[in-house]
């Protein structure tokens, strides 16, 4: 009989200090439950900057990360890291880790489906009819006769596209690099973007924000959409040129928009989106993080780094995401 073998135990993470500027006590409790060996320090607490090993931050003050001489990695309290890169003093060698909460992807899919179906089943019309006490049924719609297009086919976008496909929409997608997804027409490049938009009744944007994608939804690209097409933006506010979208909504070329992200957040009280009859505003809640599961992803990466394994979900400065 062969001798029994057991897998080596997972190395325990060494003691470390993590700096955070998130005041929500739920986050601290979630991280502490995952890694009780961590020492926590809020940025308002005094202490030696040289003792900080990791940072867990949202919109850190300018110069904070550069002032920590022994900082090994910074963790974003968001799938995006643009809020960190607003500080141009962040050292270029410093690994920046995007949040990868498994519950976040499903939340994004839920929001995308809710928004698409809200528009598809003409809920804005019925909501307006109710306010006016008007009984106004509309002709039936067939899902299979409508096309949905997802801009961005990364982890979130590919799941959204697959769910739309499974629901019966003719589904298209566009991404920076070529992708192959079963049952989904995938496009890339400038010509591919034009082809994707021309076939789109519902446009769902989940792109990362880069120099190439900023302002991607502008007068030129919006004009490529069929008249009456609708926009759902779950990526970043800067993907949309606001004046161009408002003009397209006012002209009737764009039939409606559901927007979760904006160029300025919170959205200013005097912004036209608030009161536009064809726009639904939500306050950046498409994929709110769930601390109990998100903390596990942070803890896993800290352990990996401490035992010499590569970090996961690291922001690539060259690609911009």
* Distance from C-alpha of 96 to C-alpha of 311, rounded to nearest angstrom: 10
Q: Is 284 assigned a catalytic role?
A: yes
* Distance from C-alpha of 182 to C-alpha of 309, rounded to nearest angstrom: 33
48 touches 17 (CB < 8 A)? no
* Distance from C-alpha of 105 to C-alpha of 160, rounded to nearest angstrom: 9
Cβ of 115: how many Cβ atoms within 10 Å?
Answer: 25
* Distance from C-alpha of 66 to C-alpha of 45, rounded to nearest angstrom: 18
Q: Which of 120, 163, 176, 236 is catalytic?
A: 236
DSSP, collapsed to helix, strand or coil, labels residue 140 as coil
DSSP string, 216-280: -BSHHHHHHSPTTEEEEE-S-GGGB-HHHHHHHHHHTSEEEEEES--SSSSPPTT-GGGG-TTEE
239 touches 208 (CB < 8 A)? no
* Distance from C-alpha of 96 to C-alpha of 319, rounded to nearest angstrom: 13
| Kind and range of the H or E run holding 304 | helix 291-306
**What is residue 66's DSSP assignment?**
G
How is the beta sheet containing 54-57 ordered, strand by strand?
Answer: 38-42, 16-20, 54-57, 73-76, 96-97
Whether the ω angle into residue 163 lies within 30 degrees of 0, i.e. cis, is: no
Q: Which of 284, 313, 317, 319 is catalytic?
A: 284
Q: Is 317 assigned a catalytic role?
A: no
Q: Which residues carry out catalysis?
A: 236, 284
């Amino acid at each position: 009989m062969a001798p029994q073998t057991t897998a080596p135990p997972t190395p325990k993470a060494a003691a470390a200090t993590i700096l955070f500027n998130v005041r929500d006590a739920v986050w601290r409790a979630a991280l502490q439950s995952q890694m009780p060996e961590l020492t926590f320090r809020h940025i308002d607490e005094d202490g030696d900057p040289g003792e900080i090993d990791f940072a867990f931050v949202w919109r850190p003050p300018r110069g904070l990360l550069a002032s920590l001489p022994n900082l090994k990695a910074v963790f974003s309290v968001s799938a995006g890291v643009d809020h960190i890169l607003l500080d141009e003093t962040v050292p270029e060698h410093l690994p920046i880790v995007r949040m990868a909460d498994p519950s976040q992807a499903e939340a994004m899919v839920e929001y995308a489906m809710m928004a698409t179906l809200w528009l598809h089943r003409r809920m804005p019309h019925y909501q307006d009819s109710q306010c006016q006490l008007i009984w106004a049924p509309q002709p039936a719609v067939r899902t299979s006769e409508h096309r949905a297009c997802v801009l961005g086919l990364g982890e979130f976008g590919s799941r959204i596209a697959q769910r739309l496909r499974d629901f019966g929409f003719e589904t298209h997608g566009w991404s920076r690099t070529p992708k192959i997804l079963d049952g989904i027409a995938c496009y890339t490049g400038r010509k591919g973007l034009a082809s994707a938009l021309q076939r789109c009744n519902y446009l769902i944007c989940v792109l990362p924000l880069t120099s190439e994608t900023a302002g991607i939804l502008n007068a030129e690209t919006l004009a490529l959409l069929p008249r009456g097409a609708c926009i759902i933006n779950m990526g970043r506010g800067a993907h949309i040129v606001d004046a161009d979208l408002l003009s397209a909504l006012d002209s009737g070329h764009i039939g409606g928009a559901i927007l979760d992200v904006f160029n300025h957040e919170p959205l200013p009280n005097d912004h036209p989106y608030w009161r536009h009859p064809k726009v639904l505003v939500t306050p950046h809640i498409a994929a709110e993080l769930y601390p109990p599961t998100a903390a596990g992803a942070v803890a896993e990466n800290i352990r990996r780094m401490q035992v010499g394994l590569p970090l996961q979900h690291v922001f690539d400065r060259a690609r911009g995401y």
